[in-house]
Each structure stands twice: as structure tokens, then as C-alpha cells.
Structure 1
Amino acid sequence: MHDERDAALPKPLRDWLEQTRAAKAVAYAKGYRRTVINARETFDALIRTFVTERPELGLVRDDVIPAPDYPVPVRIYHPAPEEARPVALFLHGGGHVAGSVYVYDSLVRRLALATGWIIVAVEYRLAPECPYPAALKDSLACAKRVFRCLTGQGLPHEPRLGLIGDSGGGALCATVSHLAQHDPGLDIEAQVLIYPSLDYTLSQPSVVANGEGYLLERERILWLFDCYLQGEENRRSVSPLFMDITEQLPRTLVITAELDPLRDEGAAYVERLKAAGLTAEYRLMPGMVHAYLNLADLVPDACSQTYALLDRFLNDGA
């Protein structure tokens, strides 16, 4: 059932996906049941296995950003600690259930080196223990207080703020940007959404077309959303794809993967922004699957291209 689309995959990725599909079939035959434990364990193991390059950086330092509900741990990555650089919050992926600053450490180091920006990675609260809107509150609080944090650390920085997030982190970035449209105290210059989750209704065609066999699968997405949205939330109204748009929305780069079930919602989001006259750019990575930056050793060329895209967008477009 995957033969035609598999041909587009780089061979190392194709071989690994075939092994993953076979292992999944064996696990389910033996009574595998998805839980928070194995969801987090599998996600962490994936990144630690395939993101093995850990570049050195000028400064890496931990801190806590006070917030009304929760003191949010953050990790600061400063590529040139003697220089003032722009600042970007990084909100990691993991479907609001998995992932951490620690697990994403190598990826964020590379992101800071590639862009030259100060990256502040946020250890937001995870579902199901802390469902919606806990992670959103943590992300918004950090966006409002990150400059104060850097000043308290005595770290030079420019008062320019961007947001970068992958997958579920992309959903948080987009939602913070939409809320900031109506908050004169929060000015976001740019947002970069990497294979973002923008439609909690899962109404786009690629959810079905790519919904099985390409790492992130439709039934897993539904499980993650149920962990995150435990209340009476209207899933359409909390989806960034359907939120209101004003001229205050920051310039936006969306990067999606050809064989990702979330592909079409990223494209649709950019079309909405362009239709409203906003600055938005869309890039589709051919032959890639969801979370390919977490598979860096399998797809190094695609990852290098992606970091170069971020560098150009954040710096040349400034």
C-alpha cells in the first residue's frame, strides 16, 4: 500500500520506515497498548538515536521564568554571549504529550548556530497531567517575560522576538501569535512553524492520504489530541488554522513534509495569511515525513536545507 509513495523517500529513511512498520505489526500482535509512558519513551528514544551531533555553543544556561500559574523552566542558548542578538522562543514538538528541552538539546544547539539568534527553549507543561490550556499559558508567559529573563541573567540581546516550533510546538507558536494580535504589550516579529499541528479537527485531506505508515499516524494523532483537549473545548475554535487574522500577525514561514498527515493544514494556513495580505512563506520538503528534523542522521541533506531556510527567513527577511 505504500510502494508508490515510498519511492519518493531517501533510501535510509525508506529502510527504517519498513523496519518500523514491521516492528509495529509485531508489537500489536503481542497486545501492545499505547500509554503515556511508552509514547514518551518512544519519542525520546527516536531523537536520541538519530540526532547524534551535539555542537558546542557560546553559552548554554538554565533559568526559570516566573508565571502566574507555574514557574516555567527554560534553557538559554546564546551563540555569541558577548553580542546582542535577536531572541526566539523554541517550543518543542511531541503532540503536547512528549518531548522536553533536554531531549531537544542537540537540535536547538544547531538551530542557534544556524540562525545566530538567542534561542530560549521552553519546558512547558505536558498533557495528560496538565491538559489544555496549561502549555499555552506557559508559552504565552515566556513570550511576555523572556526579555526580563535575559536581562536578569546579564545577557546582551536585542528587543526582537520570534517564535519557532515544530509539530505541537508549532501549534503553540501559532496560537501565541494569534493572541498577541490583541495584546499591545507583546510584539512578535516572526514565527517559524515546522510541520505544525494547526487543525485539531483533522479535516484536511493529507490526514487520510498520509495517515498510516509514515511515522505519525492518524490514530496516534487522535490519541494525542484526546490527552490534550480534555475539557469542553471546541476543537475548531482552538485550532490556529481557523483563528482570526489581523494585520498584527507576524511574518510567517511554514515548512511541511510531503508524506506528513499534517501537510495540508500547513499549506492552508499560509494561504489564509496570504489572502489577508500578510507576509507568509510556504516550503514543502519532498520525500520527507513528519518530525524529519528528529531523524537527522537518516536525512542530513533535508535537515541542512531546513536550517538554511530558517537562517534566510529570520535574517534576510528582517
Structure 2
Amino acid sequence: MRKVDDSLAVWLQAFNHELAATMIAGVEFSTINVRAGLATITRTYITEIPHIDMVVDDIIEHVPIRVYHPQPQVALPVLVYLHGGGHVAGSLDVYDPICRKLALACQYIIVAIDYRLAPEYPYPAAINDVRLCLQHLFSRLNNMAVNYIPYLAIGGDSAGGALAATVCAIVQNDEVHISKQVLIYPSLDYTLSSPSVMMNGNDYFLQINKVRWYFDQYFQNNQNRYSASPLWLPVCANFPETLVITTEFCPLRDEGITYYNKLRQQGIEAQHYHVSDMVHAFLNLENVVPQHCRQLYTVMGQFLTAERGMIKSRK
């Protein structure tokens, strides 16, 4: 039987009550209120901000980045992180606490990319920004005198997961070698054709009408959303070893599971970690479900630091 975590259920009840009131009041989605909403929720529910010895802002071409090095005297591998927010919201500052926690849990240098957002910069601007950063990443770290190992991983949550998976498919045959990929409740199918979209599209934090609005901001020139979906992009034999994280009450659940199965069927090393009582974006709700968040950081750290390892689903 499906059951939301007890603490989360209490929070969701209050959230859904407030959401219904805004709908009755006729409040519509806008870039201003959507961006403010993600920033406010994250700031409100992630209040433990750990210290990182080295945090430096820089820029690659036109793209701002933020580098987190948990042990500046030690050469560590690099994880490029792409924040969520539906391709419309999120920023380096909003995701700063999550990147700090990732750096500590994984003992990687985290390079957060402040890719351009829709609707001001629609598809494929964000993809181009990420590719540009990957192409020049190590030379930029050299110029910054960052102590690193030239071993590259990539990760992201939600829309950031979409960007990570898309870029992995695009660059798999060029000069950028990505060894590992971490996708946290990723958005992988812009056609929204999976059963979980309807099953979990209301009452579980991420509303499907909001997702559709996000995608309409991102795709402004009648692009083929099927062809743009990372779920349907081809993969080849040197595709990165991948960890896919899904949650039971997420509208995007099934596309994540389908993506994992696709990689496995094509012989790609892949692991699936499923959280049976959580919703989409629960890392941004850390104070509501702290144990779940701590466990997820641990799982990601184990995956990134192991050459090969099996992570079983959390029941």
C-alpha cells in the first residue's frame, strides 16, 4: 500500500490548503512568483548550511559557476551540478546549501553551473551553456589553481537531471568524457506520457499543470518535445555509469524508471534508488524530512566514490 511519510503528509496537507487558496484567488504562474516560490521554500526548509573550506565564484565564457572544494589541499574528482526548477527557476544561491552538502557527502569538488533560464532564454540555451562549461571546465579550474583530479561526473535534480542526461547523450562521442551521472527525480520525458504523471500529478507538491507551464516556457519555437526528451535520446557503449533516483509520489517517477531500464537493457552500468514514501524535490524540504535527506546524500556519496557497487531500493 502506498503511503506518504507521516511528517511529510502533515506538511503536504498545509501546502495543498494554501495552494487551493491561491487558485481560488486567481493567482497565475509567472516567472516572478515561480522563482520566488522555489527560493522561499528552499530557504525556509534548509536552514543547516555547512561550512566548506573553499567556495569560489567564477565564470566560464558567459556562464557563472560556483566551485565548492571540501578539502582544498587534496586533489579530488569533479562533479558538475545542475540545479532544478523546471528550466525557469533556481540559481547558484538557491541551491548553495544542497551543493555544500553534496560536496561533503561525496568528497567531490562540486562545480555548480548557473545556466540560462527560460522564458528569457528558451531551449536549447541551457544545454549550450552546460556543454560550453564542460568543454572548458578543466582549463578553467587550472586557471583558478583548484586542486583537482581530472575525473568528471555530472548530476542534477528535476530539470537539472534533464540537462545532465541530455548533455551526456550529446557529448558521449566527443572530447568530453563523463564517468558517472547522478539523476535526482529527473525530468526525462517532455511529452509527459507516463502513467505516474496522472497518478501523482496533484496533491503531491509538484503539480502537473505547473510542469506543463514550465515546458511551455522552455519550448517556444514548436520544437519536437519527443526528440528533445533525454528518455528517447540514443546512448552508446561508453555512456556514463548512472544512478537514477526516483520517489513514489512524483509525477516524473515512471520516466526515471523507464530510463534506468533502458540503460540496463543496453548494457550500461546503472543503479536505481527508489524512495517509497517521498515526493518530488524533497531535498529542498530537508527540515520536514531530515532523515530521508541524510540518507540520500549518503547514497549519492557511495555511488560516486565506488568503482562499482549495487545500491538497493529503499523500501
TM band (smaller chain): over 0.9
Which of 185, 196, 199 is residue 206 of structure 1 equivalent to? Answer: 196
Gapped regions of structure 2 (runs ≥ 5): 309-315
Which of 138, 161, 164 is residue 170 of structure 1 equivalent to? Answer: 161
Shift of 1:24: 1.3
Give the alignment of 1:169-318 within 5 angstroms: 169-183=160-174, 185-317=175-307
Partner in structure 2 of residue 32 of structure 1 = 27
Between the aligned partners of 1:64 and 1:206, the Cα distance in structure 2 is 39
- SS of the equivalent of 1:236 reads helix
Between the aligned partners of 1:254 and 1:317, the Cα distance in structure 2 is 16
Between the aligned partners of 2:261 and 2:5, the Cα distance in structure 1 is 29
> TM-score, with normalisation over the residues of structure 1?
0.95
Matched residues, number? 308
Which of 49, 57, 60 is residue 55 of structure 2 equivalent to? Answer: 60
Partner in structure 2 of residue 159 of structure 1 = 150
Deviates most, 219-228 or 18-27: 18-27
1:80 counterpart letter in structure 2: Q
Asked if 1:139 is matched to 2:134, the reply is no
Between the aligned partners of 1:133 and 1:257, the Cα distance in structure 2 is 27
1:212 counterpart letter in structure 2: N
- SS of the equivalent of 2:167 reads helix
Asked if 1:129 is matched to 2:120, the reply is yes
Partner in structure 1 of residue 40 of structure 2 = 45
Q: CA RMSD in A?
A: 1.0
Shift of 1:143: 1.2
> TM-score, with normalisation over the residues of structure 2?
0.96
The percent of aligned pairs where both chains have the same amino acid is 46
Deviates most, 120-129 or 9-18: 9-18
Shift of 1:146: 1.1
Partner in structure 1 of residue 139 of structure 2 = 148
Between the aligned partners of 2:4 and 2:307, the Cα distance in structure 1 is 31
1:36 counterpart letter in structure 2: T
Shift of 1:11: 2.4
Partner in structure 1 of residue 102 of structure 2 = 111
Gapped regions of structure 1 (runs ≥ 5): none
1:156 counterpart letter in structure 2: N
